[in-house]
Amino acid sequence: MNAYYQPFMIFMLHDSGEKDQIDITKEIFLKENGKKVLLPEQVVLIFDEELRRIYIWKGAQSSVRKKFIASRVASELQNELANVANFHRCKVVSVDQGDEPREFLNSFGFSSMKLDMALEPKEMPKSSYSEKPTQKTDTSQRSKQIDKGKQPYKLRKPNKFKILSQDQKSRLDTILKSEIPSGFARQHIILGDNIIYGNVKSKTEIFGKIVIEESWSPVEGLNEKMIEFNDYKIRVYFDVNSSLIKAVEFLKPTAPEVLKEKIIDYSKWTVKELKAYCSKNDINVLSKYRKADLIKLVEDFNK
């Protein structure tokens, strides 16, 4: 299930047609007949995957424009969620404050939220809420400021991530069906059309001297559907502004360095030192041996 879409979500609608997700759980929403969210001035979209419904709740004092565009916004949300893995296509149901369908009230255990008709807003002329305004207006920010001043809940940050495409859903399903090695648990999946780069080394002769050049190039000829990386250290680089993954780096453990054997120059030893070494290591020394012979005996012994 997509991490950015939850089984239960509520969106507040603005006059601009934008929607903001409300930071509220279903348990809190159900308290006190939903009064934390179902305000007379608001139009909200209530998505419940379990009920397979998207309810358009229209407050009695909400603007005519919000009510007018609510169906279009709900339809867009319906299509978005239908493309998310493990989500069903939900039915859109319109709910007017004070005239709520019995289905809506029973689903959440609410009672009707009737409002004095004297508080109903006056209808605006149709020309003032045309769906495609001819002039640019800066009403969206003002609308949000008005709404935020009245709401008793917090808004979630806008979702910057796109929903999964059909191809991505198919690839994700394939990954989730693969077995996990014993002793491991699936934590994260990097999904996308990324390119693997490898370190390519080449030798070049420059003025009679061999120079090794290194470059990072796309790896070609991969014929494996899945590659397991054992004992690798993995580092993920993020864009701090968008939280998108910029790159994933795999660090392979290097072989421990072999200590270089210390080369001893036995020619610098005295004859006495060479004979003592031979005696200690049971090397047979003849009386006729000179220093050069002793050095060769010691070197041959160490080989």
Condensed to tens digits (0 to 9), the pLDDT of residues 154-168 reads: 666 554 444 556 666
Decide if pLDDT at 35 tops 80.
Answer: yes
DSSP, res 34: G
Give me the pLDDT at residue 128, please.
Answer: 39
Cα separation of 5 and 268, whole Å? Answer: 79
Cα separation of 61 and 58, whole Å? Answer: 8
Predicted TM-score (pTM) of the model is 0.45
Percent of the chain with pLDDT over 70: 71
* Mean pLDDT within 218-227: 70
Question: In CATH, what number does 8-150 get?
Answer: 3.40.20.10
Q: CA 248 → CA 176, 178, 185, 195, distances in Å? A: 20, 21, 19, 10
Domain ranges of the chain: 8-150, 266-302
Query: Model confidence at 29, in pLDDT bands (50, 70, 90)?
Result: very high
**3-state secondary structure string, 208-273?**
CEEEEEEEEEECCCCCCCCCCCCCCEEEEEECCCCCCEEEEEEECCCCCCCCCCCCCCHHHCCHHH
